[in-house]
Amino acid sequence: MPKKINILGVNVDSLTMREAVRQVEQYMDEKAGVLVATANAEMLMRATYDQELKDILNAAALVVPDGAGTVWAAHHLGHAMPERVAGYDLAQELMREAPARGYRIYFFGSAPGVADKAKAKAEKLYPGIQVVGTRNGYFGPEDEPEIIADIQAAKPDLLLCALGVPKQEKWLKKYQQELGVPVSIGVGGTFDVMAGVMKRAPRWMQKAKLEWLFRGMMQPKRAGRLMALPKFVFKVHHFKHEHNR
């Protein structure tokens, strides 16, 4: 099992993309019924004041380091962390291997029509993939029994849930037992990127660890969220000194 590193009170797994894919596939094969979370700086910051989210993350089977900020924090705290394991990339790797391994996948979340477009993209990119159901993320409590029944009937091995943080994590945790899905992952904007609704940062910006900046430029309403990064750096620095006393 990968080593867990405490970043601001959340235990994040130190592992490579390859190891993360293997671990998730093992959970699917075991029909484990687990949650996998993709922790970027924003999620870790939120967990410092959202106890429910923190508890969900610390009970998750796997918390992958989604983002340069998380990897930086681990290094700053004196721990080895080989690379970032972005949720978008993890989802693509699992989809790429799904046809050969016969995994069934369900897309849940995003605006109406987006999950269907993402499904069409997945079928084009990964021939033979079984996307066994889609449902948009616009619903009220009265719609939940129907959504749960639909997911149960589709019998996916993997449920990709794009409701945004922390809604996706809280929803998956709440219905984890009822859904009975081997692996559920909160994947944020993954379907939006696949459907072409949201652009992903160019490769050079991803390599330069500037994906967060690109997202801020593309979505000005996220500008406030960019301020979370300097706060995150400050908080990690403070956390390090508290724990080194």
* pTM, to two decimals: 0.91
Label the pairing between strands 3-7 and 10-14: antiparallel
Q: Which amino acid is at 77?
A: L
Domain count, the chain: 1
168, 186 in Cβ contact below 8 A?
yes
Whether residue 120 is contained in a domain is answered as yes
Assigned domain for 156 exists: yes
221 assigned to some structural domain: no
- Eight-class DSSP state of 221: G
Return the closest-CA partner of residue 84 out of 239, 204, 206: 206
pLDDT value at residue 162: 97
Mean pLDDT, range 232-238, rounded to an integer: 91
Rounded Cα distance between 151 and 14, Å, is 31
Does any domain span residue 213?
no
DSSP of 102-122: T-EEEEEESSTTHHHHHHHHH
Question: pLDDT (tens digit, 9 = 90+) per residue, 174-229?
Answer: 999 999 999 999 999 999 999 988 777 778 877 777 777 677 767 766 666 667 77
Confidence of residue 108 (pLDDT cuts 50, 70, 90): very high
CATH number assigned to the domain comprising residue 74: 3.40.50
Q: How confident is the model at residue 54 (pLDDT cuts 50, 70, 90)?
A: very high
Which range among 54-58, 101-105, 167-171, 225-229 shows the weakest confidence by mean pLDDT? 225-229
pLDDT band at 243 (very low <50, low <70, confident <90, very high): confident
Tokens of 219: 């979505």
Residue 214 placed within a domain: no
- Distance CA(75)–CA(71), nearest Å, equals 6
Phi, psi of 121 (to 5 degrees): -65, -45
Q: pLDDT, tens digit, for every residue of 28-39?
A: 999 999 999 999
Find the domain containing 62 and state its range. Answer: 3-198
Whole-angstrom Cα distance, residue 242 to residue 216? 31
* pLDDT of 245: 66
How far is the C-alpha of 77 from the C-alpha of 234, rounded, in Å?
12
| Residue 147 lies inside a defined structural domain of this protein | yes
Q: Is residue 233 part of a domain?
A: no
Contact between 54 and 47 under an 8 Å Cβ cutoff? The reply is: yes
Residue 62 lies in a domain: yes
